Structures are given as C-alpha cells and as structure tokens.
Amino acid sequence: MAEKKERYQNRIELLQGTLDLLVLQTLQWGPQHGYGISIAIRNHSGEILQVDTGSLYPALHRLEKQKLIKAEWKVSENKQRAKYYQLTAAGKKHLSRERSKWSQFSQAIAGVLNPEQT
Amino acid sequence: MTFWRRETREAELDEEVRTHLNMAAQTLTERGVAQKEAERAAKRDFGNVELTKEVTRDAWGGRWLQDLISDARYGLRMLSKNPGFTAIAVLTLALGIGSNSAVFSLIDALLLRSLDVPAPRELVRITFGPPGIDGPLSSPMFDRLRERQRVFTDIFAWTNGPMVLSNKGVARPITGAYATGSAFPTLKLKPRLGRLLTWQDDEPSALSNGVAAVISEDFWLEHFGGDPGVLGQPITVDGGTATIVGVMPGSFNGITVDYSPQVVLPFIFDVALHGKSSCRFRSDCTWFSAMARLEPGVTFAQAQADLAAIAGDVLKELLTEGYQRIDYLRNGTLSLIPGRTGNSPLGKVYGRELWTLQTLVGLLMIICCANLASLQLSRTLNRQHELVVRSALGAGRLRLVRQLVVESMLLSASGAAAGMLLSQWMSGLLVRYVEQSDFPVFLDLRPNLTILAAVIALAALTVILTGALPALNLTRLETEEMLRSGAQRAVGRKRHPLAARLLPGQVALSLVLTSLALLFAVSTGRLLRVDPGFRVKGITFFGVDFERRPEKGEARLDLYRKMLDGLRRAPGVEAASVVAVRPLGEGGIDESAAPVEGHGPEDKHLFENVVGPEYFTTAGTKILAGREISKFDRFGAIPVCVLNQAAANFFFPQQSPIGKHIRSTEPNPKRPSCEVVGVVTDAKYLSLRESAPPTIYYPYEQLPDFRWAGFITRSHHTSAAIAAFKDALRRYAPDTPFLPPMTMQRQLEDSIGKERLVAVLSLFFGGLALLLTSIGLYGLESQRVERRTPEIGLRMALGAQKSDMLWFVLREATFVFLIGLPLGLLLTFAACRFVGSLLYEMSPLDPRIHLIAVLSLVGAGLLASYVPARRAVKVDPMAALRYE
C-alpha cells in the first residue's frame, strides 16, 4: 500500500501544472462540481484525458487554498447538495497567464518534434 | 488551517466524495445499468476513496501539526503502557538535570551573574593588599586615588557590616552597609522610592543637618509595610540616628553577592558615631571596598596602566611610621580586577569546589544520557515488531523516526520539568551548606535565563542522544525479512552495538565519580577527627554589643565580672569565661613578640587571643605547665601571659618558659612585657586544616584599652547556656540586643563547610552514578536473557549446567567491566592530579580508596546481574522450546 500511495503522489506531481490548467479552463464556462469537472475534461478532450479522481480532488483543494477558485455548496439540477467551484478574479488572471505559457510551451515542443516545418 | 475547523472540513470532504459517487452512479443508471452494478462501477472508477481523501487533506496544509499531535498522543499512550521504563527514564533525567541545574545555579549566583545595574561590564574593583590578597583600601588612600585618577567616571567605596537597629527600646540585628556618596550615581541606580544617596549626603555638613539613609525594598516591605510615608522617618542604627530618604530598587542587593544590606548609610555616619577615631580618618584602617566605572572608551588595560602609574604616589605619602600592621600596609599594592559580578567572598572561597562539583555533575549527566540511550534503545528493540508492522502498513522511515523523537521529547520535557523542581529543592539544601556564621547568607537563586538555557540545552542533547540515534539505527530494518521471520522476535540476534559500547564508558565514569567521592569523604572525615586542641561538645559562644553601654573602663570590666558570675551560678552551666577571638572564627589578632631574657628570636607572625579567668578549663585546652589565667590577674598585678606549645618551643627551646618574660615588638605595644605563667597545648586558631600557629594569650583585665570580648560557656545542653546568658543580660545589661549564639560544633562544621559540601555532594553523585550504571547493566542483561530464552532453553535441554547459564549472563558484565574498569582507573588517576590540593593530608593516589571504589562498582554490577542471572537459571527448557 505504501508504494501505491507513492504512485498517486508521483502522478499528481507529474500532472500538476497541466491538471490545474485544465481545471481552471473548465471552470471558465461557469461553476461546476468535482464530478462535473471530471466529465467535462473527458468530454472536451474527446475521451482521451481520463482525470484520476485521486489527483482531481487534491488539485481542487489546493487551488482553493491558493484562492484561484472558491467553493460554495449548492443544490444541483438533480436536487443533490454538491460543492460547486468557481473561478476567482485571481484565478482568471492565473488562467490567462498559464494559457499563454502553455501555448508557448506546446509550440516549442512542436518545433522540436517537427523541425522541418519551421 | 485552523485546527478546530478541521473536523468540519473532514465532513465536507466526505460529503463531496459521496456526491461524486452518487452522481457517477446516477449517470450509469440513466444509461440502464442496474443500481447495485452502477454503484460498484462508480466506486471502481473513483479508485481508492480513503487514499484520495488523505492526499486531498494533505493539500490543506498543516499536516505536520496534525501528525505531531497524533504522534504525541501515541507517544503518551506508549509511555503510559510502560510505566516502569517511563518512571526510570524521567527520574534519571530529573536527577541529571536537577543536580546540574542546582550546582550551576549556585555557580551562577556566586560567580557569574552580573550586578543588576546599567552597563555592569564597565565596573571594576580596585583592591589593595600584599600579593594574593584582594583587600579593601584605607579611606585616605581612596580620597587620594579619587583626586588623581583620570580613567574612571568616578570611584566609590562600600563597606558591609552587621548593625543593630533600635526601635522603641527593642534592639535587633540587621544587615547594613556604608557607602560613599559617589556609590549610587556611579552604579547608575534609580530609586524605588524617594532618592538615593549623593555626594552631599557624605559631606561633613551632613553631620549638622542629619545623616541620610536608604533602605532596601525588602526591608521597606517587611519593616514598614511598604508605606510610602517612610520617607523622612528617623531610624536608629548602632546608637546613631539617620533619616530615611529613599528605597533602593528590589533588583539591587548591594555589591557583595552573598550579603544584602537592609540599610545603607553614608560613611559620614561612622564619623557621627565615633568622631575623630572613626576609620574614616585613619591610614591603618583598610575598610573601603572600592569600585569604579570605566570612562567610556577606556579599556581595562589602559585603566590598569593608569592605576599602576599613580599607585606609587598614592601609597607612599600615606605610609608614615608607627602604624600597627605596618608590614601589611608596606607590602600592599593597588590592583584592578573586573567588577561586573561585584564582590563575592563566598565565591572566592567556594569557587574551586563548585567547579569541581560542576565537573562531577557534568560526568553524571553523561552517565544519565548514556543510560537513557541504552534504555530507550532496548525499548525500541523490544518494539521492533510493532515498528515493522507500522512500516508495512505504510509508515515512512521519517515518520517512524519522528515518532521516536517525539517520544523522547515528551520524556525529556517531563524530565526537565521534574529536574527544575528537584533543582529548586537541592539548591535550597546547597545554600544551607554554604551558609555559615551568625548572619544568614543571602543568595538569589531564582532560576534565570542562563540556567533555563543550560537546562533546555541538556534536555535537547538528551533528546538527540536517546531518540534520534536509536531510531536511525533501528529503522534500517528490512521489512520483508522481518515479517517473514514472523512473530518470534528473532530480529535482534546480534548484540545491539550501541548499548554495549556505552556501558563500559558508564562504568569508567562511575568509577571516577565513586573514587573522587570516597577521596573527598575520607579527607573530610579525617578533618573532622583532627584533635583541635579544645572541646567541641557543649561549648557555646555569645557575642555581646556593649559599645553603647554607659559603663566604660573599670566599670566595663566590672560588667564583665558580674556577667561571668551570673553565668557561672546559673543551673546547667559547668564553666564560663571570656574570649575575644573565637577559634576557627572569621579572624584573629596579629602580634609580634620576642623574649626578654637571652635575646631569643623575634616572632613576627604570632597570633594573639584575649581571654578571661578559667578560659582553658572552660574550652578544654590542656595546661601543660604552670597555671591558668586567674581572676587575680588584674590591672595593677604583674602582667602575665600564657603561651601555647608552639610559641613556647619557638621562644624558649629546650628550657622551661615559666617565669620568663615576653615583650611585644609591635610599634605601639599595649603592654611592654609580660611574665609567662603557663603553657597550653596547641589549639587550632584560624582553620582546622592549618596546624596550630604560635599563640599568646593575655588576660582581658590587664589590657589598658580593653573594649570588647565575647563569652564562652560549657554546659551539657546548649539551651541551658542560652537561658543563663539571656538571664544575665537582662539582669546586668538590659536594652542590649541578644545576638545569635554559636556552638563550637557549628563553628567547626562551618569552618570546613566547603569540604563537607564537596564530600556530601560527591558521595550523593557517586551513589547516583553507581545506581544508574547498575540500572543500565540490569537493562542490558535482562534484555539479553529475554531475547535468548529459547537458546538458553535449548542449551539446558542439551545438558548445560546451571553454572554455564550463570556464566552466560555474567559474560556480558565481565566484558563491560574488563573494558570499563581500566579506562576508569586511567581517568581517575588523571583527575586525581587536579583534586590533590582539595584533600587534607592524604594522597589522591591512595590505593586503598581506589580498591574500595573498584570493589563497590563490581559489587553493584554483580547485584544488578543477580536478577537476570536468576531468571536465566530458572528457564524451563520445555516452555522455552515450545515457545520457539
């Protein structure tokens, strides 16, 4: 079990920046609960990105602690009480900054991987 | 993360996860999956629920605090599950920390603590005396020096002395001091109330306007109930009257660490009392303890150089012929010593002894730590199985180490707390040992920051030694291998190296402590058995204060006669006489004399005592030849004197001194010559350690300017003598304060106070060391027996004898002693070089002492091995094998 836990932790670390970005991006369309976020990421990525709940919830709580998102208990359309997350002003700023970083990063990677195209 | 909000957040997290699962399951049922199946699938998709929660909780931060608290809780539970270990560990720590802190607080109070004044490092003491003596200056010396010096902001003088306070006809002794007017401004002290003394208060003009006095805060609270109206009130001290003008701050206890004056008067008060004969005007009266504050920017060395430059002039002009003690004055020089801590006569007397004791308790602390480490280690070994299971359940190595460290911290915190309590009690006892003479020693032993820091440092050291080391050693476990070997606890097959390495060291240090303790004890025992040349049992001394009685001259002598008669007639009093210098007391009278007949040698270092009729009978000093001083040796009769054997042998070798004459060779002899009428045995004079010096006894009634002597009585019960003396005082000299009496027994014990202190404490510490080492050995062996019970059982089943099993246990002890004892002997002999001078007439290398020390250590070791050995012998082979 010890090893398993470590594996989870490694994965969080590996995906950390990326997952944060995905979560923030998802929340741009409006407040959403944890389950909704995981579904949204899966759907928007064409079922390619499977978000591990073991990483999602720590990421949500960490972003909340960093005050990039805030949470509120609301009743969902299915009349269930759920914790809804939404972007804060700081979160929005962070998102746009991270997005431009990410596009620079992916362009750079693409450049390296396909040198003949540049 | 606030701690109390945590539980709400836990509940919220639970709900959040539950909602997630519900929603996932709902999505599935909407697609037509059966409810049960959907729930299972949702859970499967989610993964490990508890782990997710835990990792999420990590994101909240504050995890370490949470862990620390649970570690502490767990630690407390483990400690209370093992009360024997916990008690021994806490007690060991408490004893180690307590004794260290007690001895150190005494050292701190006597030697290290600064005077509580602004910038104490600028203070210096100016002393006068022949080489090796840091004595006070004379007043003219001080005045001259104050005019000449250029390196100090100012200098001041201070003199402590007991005083008698009279209030509405009741007299009581108080602690007093004289100070020059410059004292308080130079010390930069602020008054608690009113004002402090200034230069104007010490000017002759103060005599006509009334002398000012300041009192201590304690005295103000105790005697005046803290009434602010105390300012302006008159106070009658030593027969003179002064006006209270202020209260000193409570943090200031005078410039002498063991003497806290209740009343401080300007020196002019002594002039008011004694007029022209006051010491204030006399060059032969050295009573000014001088201090100064360095001018800003002047270094100690510069001040020293300046003082040396002017010292010659200052001294030369003052030394005219015709003084008593001219040798002392002529050989004296001025010197400068640091004054940050003020003056500490007790510290000077006890300094070396205290540092010796501090070294001993330091060694004891090492033994304590070693013991704790082995105790802790063997406990951790016994907990190996638990640790392995915890590690298998996912606890990281860091977490395990932290758990053990937290436990040691709990232990050392409670040990330190108990140690501080113990230290308070022990330093109280220590002060009672240090205390001597009629006035209680004042020592401020509040635990201060230095002591607290020292104790915390000791505790932290212990934590590191006992917690982290064994923990690091132990968590190098290989979990799988351990688990595979199952519950048989066959893990620690090899002897754990740390405990085995520590024990010989403990034995060595214990041997050092035991040997030194025995040396000190035997030396002090010898000192106590020395024949002092007088009786010890039943002798009581009474001081008197007749200075302000109206009787002078012959009338004063008559008062003494009446008092003596009264004492002798009192029931229970066997004999009584008069004596000026108490044997083994604080001081003596110097005399120099030479025989008249035969131009024999002159003795410049003779000691003098002034006694009454039948003194020798009363004190129990044997008369070897001639007669005792009698009541007929009065003014007008032939002047007589008695010599002790040392003086008789010196002046009149190989002839009878009876009938011969001795003349005083002092500059202004009080009596030109006397006839020797008796020779008495040598009686100790200043100290038990020194052999009795040549002594001459004069009858008090033949002294032309006889002013003072005390009384000595012999009685079966001290209480009878006290009652008789109080009665005589009431009858013949009412209104005279009754000063605390002093028994010869107490006087003798006081005079060897430091020897007794070192002996008693080192015996205590030596005993502790033996005990701790025995516990350590016991721990090691019983654990060994427990661990190897199956092996012992097997061997016994195969026919091993009981003696073999005994040897099996004792082998460990033998190994420890074979290394420890030689090491200890080596250390002891090295240490002996430093303690030789503390011993009385014995060699520190006395083989008998060291043999006894070794034997007692081996004895303690055997005693400690007895229980485990018995357990090993009693192992039932069947039971042991079945267990395996």
A114 in a domain, yes or no?
no
User: Quick one: B758 and B733 in the same domain?
Assistant: no
Q: Would you call A56 exposed, middle or buried from its count of C-beta atoms within 10 A (0-12, 13-18, 19+)?
A: buried
Instruction: Give the best residue of B1, B51, B55 to mutate against chain A (max A CB count within 10 A).
Output: B55
B93 in a domain, yes or no?
no
B838 near B352, Cβ under 8 Å? yes
Q: Which domain holds residue B21?
A: 3-61
Q: Under DSSP, is residue B491 helix (H, G, I), strand (E, B) or coil?
A: coil
**CA atoms A33, A35, A39, A41: torsion sign:** positive
User: Quick one: B518 and B583 in the same domain?
Assistant: no
pLDDT digits (tens, 9 = 90+) for B262-285: 999 999 999 988 888 888 888 878
Structural Rg of chain A based on CA atoms = 16
**Number of H-type helices and E-type strands within chain A:** 4, 3
Furthest C-alpha separation in chain B: 140
Q: Find where tokens 């108490």 sit.
A: B582
pLDDT digits (tens, 9 = 90+) for B538-576: 999 998 888 778 888 888 888 999 999 999 999 999 999
Q: What is the CATH number of the domain that holds A54?
A: 1.10.10.10
Confidence of residue B626 (pLDDT cuts 50, 70, 90): very high
**Number of H-type helices and E-type strands within chain B:** 29, 22
A57 vs B: CB within 8 A? yes
User: Quick one: B295 and B154 in the same domain?
Assistant: yes
Residues 54-83 of B with CB under 8 A from A: 54-56, 58-61
Give ipTM to 2 decimals: 0.81
Mean pLDDT of B600-620: 87
A118 in a domain, yes or no?
no
User: Quick one: B213 and B327 in the same domain?
Assistant: yes
Mean pLDDT of B737-750: 85
Mean pLDDT of A34-50: 82
Cβ-based contacts of A60 with chain B (< 8 Å): 56
What is the pLDDT, as a whole number, of residue B468?
67
Instruction: Give the best residue of A61, A70, A74 to mutate against chain B (max B CB count within 10 A).
Output: A61
CA of B396 vs chain A CAs: smallest distance (Å): 8
pLDDT digits (tens, 9 = 90+) for B673-702: 899 999 999 998 888 888 888 999 999 888
Mean pLDDT of B330-357: 86
User: Quick one: B689 and B662 in the same domain?
Assistant: yes
Q: B56–A57: do the CB atoms touch at under 8 Å?
A: yes
User: Quick one: B511 and B610 in the same domain?
Assistant: no
What is the pLDDT, as a whole number, of residue A10?
38
Confidence of residue B492 (pLDDT cuts 50, 70, 90): very low
Q: Which residues of B330-340 are buried (b: 16+ CB within 10 A; e: fewer)?
A: eebebbbeebb
A42 vs B: CB within 8 A? no
- Give the residue with greater pLDDT, B318 vs B437: B318
Runs of H (alpha helix) within B275-396: 300-316, 326-331, 345-382, 384-392
| Residue from B856, B772, B779 nearest B812 by CA | B779
A100 in a domain, yes or no?
yes
Task: Considering only the beta carbons, identify the residue of B13, B26, B51 that sits closest to A5.
Answer: B51
Q: Which of B744, B777, B812 is the last residue of a domain?
A: B744
B79 in a domain, yes or no?
no
pLDDT reading at A6 higher than 50:
no
User: Quick one: B370 and B230 in the same domain?
Assistant: no
Q: A58–B393: do the CB atoms touch at under 8 Å?
A: no
Instruction: Give the best residue of B13, B15, B17, B20 to mutate against chain A (max A CB count within 10 A).
Output: B20
User: Quick one: B868 and B815 in the same domain?
Assistant: yes
Q: Which of B319, B340, B361 is the last residue of a domain?
A: B340
Reading phi first (left if > 0) and then psi (alpha if -120 to 50, else beta), residue B668 is in beta
User: Quick one: B773 and B863 in the same domain?
Assistant: yes
pLDDT digits (tens, 9 = 90+) for B442-457: 777 766 667 677 777 7
- Give the residue with greater pLDDT, B300 vs B436: B300
A68 in a domain, yes or no?
yes
Task: Considering only the beta carbons, identify the residue of B22, B45, B59 that sits closest to A58.
Answer: B59
Average pLDDT along chain B: 84
CA of B380 vs chain A CAs: smallest distance (Å): 23
Q: B393–A53: do the CB atoms touch at under 8 Å?
A: no
B92 in a domain, yes or no?
no
CA of B28 vs chain A CAs: smallest distance (Å): 13
Cβ-based contacts of A78 with chain B (< 8 Å): 23, 26
Confidence of residue B640 (pLDDT cuts 50, 70, 90): very high
pLDDT reading at B187 higher than 90:
yes
B240 near B270, Cβ under 8 Å? no
Can you spell out the DSSP letters for B728-797? HHHHHSTT---PPPEEHHHHHHHHTHHHHHHHHHHHHHHHHHHHHHHHHHHHHHHHHHHHTHHHHHHHHH
A80 in a domain, yes or no?
yes
B651 in a domain, yes or no?
yes
B279 in a domain, yes or no?
yes
User: Quick one: B182 and B315 in the same domain?
Assistant: yes
pLDDT reading at A62 higher than 70:
yes
B84 in a domain, yes or no?
no
What is the pLDDT, as a whole number, of residue B853?
92
**CA atoms B342, B347, B351, B354: torsion sign:** negative
Can you spell out the DSSP letters for B22-48? HHHHHHHHHTT--HHHHHHHHHHHH--
B486 in a domain, yes or no?
yes
Confidence of residue B824 (pLDDT cuts 50, 70, 90): very high
Separation of alpha carbons B303 and B295, rounded Å: 9
Separation of alpha carbons B807 and B380, rounded Å: 27
Q: Find where tokens 């460990």 sit.
A: B812
B67 in a domain, yes or no?
no
Task: Considering only the beta carbons, identify the residue of B13, B24, B51 that sits closest to A8.
Answer: B51
Could you give phi then psi for residue B573, rounded to 5 degrees? -90, 120
Q: B60–A61: do the CB atoms touch at under 8 Å?
A: yes
pLDDT digits (tens, 9 = 90+) for B67-92: 788 888 888 888 888 888 888 888 88
Instruction: Give the best residue of B9, B12, B43, B52 to mutate against chain A (max A CB count within 10 A).
Output: B52
Continuous segment of H or E residues that includes residue B115: none
Q: A83–B394: do the CB atoms touch at under 8 Å?
A: no
CA of B420 vs chain A CAs: smallest distance (Å): 43
Cβ-based contacts of B393 with chain A (< 8 Å): 1-2
A115 in a domain, yes or no?
no
Mean pLDDT of B221-235: 91
User: Quick one: B769 and B724 in the same domain?
Assistant: no
User: Quick one: B305 and B217 in the same domain?
Assistant: yes
Continuous segment of H or E residues that includes residue A107: helix A89-113
pLDDT digits (tens, 9 = 90+) for B102-154: 888 888 888 888 888 999 999 999 999 888 788 899 888 899 899 888 899 99
Q: Which residue of chain B has the CA closest to A83? A: B16
Residues 74-113 of A with CB under 8 A from B: 76, 78, 80-83
Number of domains in chain A: 1
Cβ-based contacts of B55 with chain A (< 8 Å): 5, 8-9, 12, 54, 57-58
Confidence of residue A46 (pLDDT cuts 50, 70, 90): confident
Q: Which of B713, B744, B775 is the last residue of a domain?
A: B744
Number of domains in chain B: 4
Q: Which domain holds residue A12?
A: 2-109
pLDDT digits (tens, 9 = 90+) for B396-445: 777 777 887 888 888 888 888 888 888 888 888 888 777 665 556 677 77
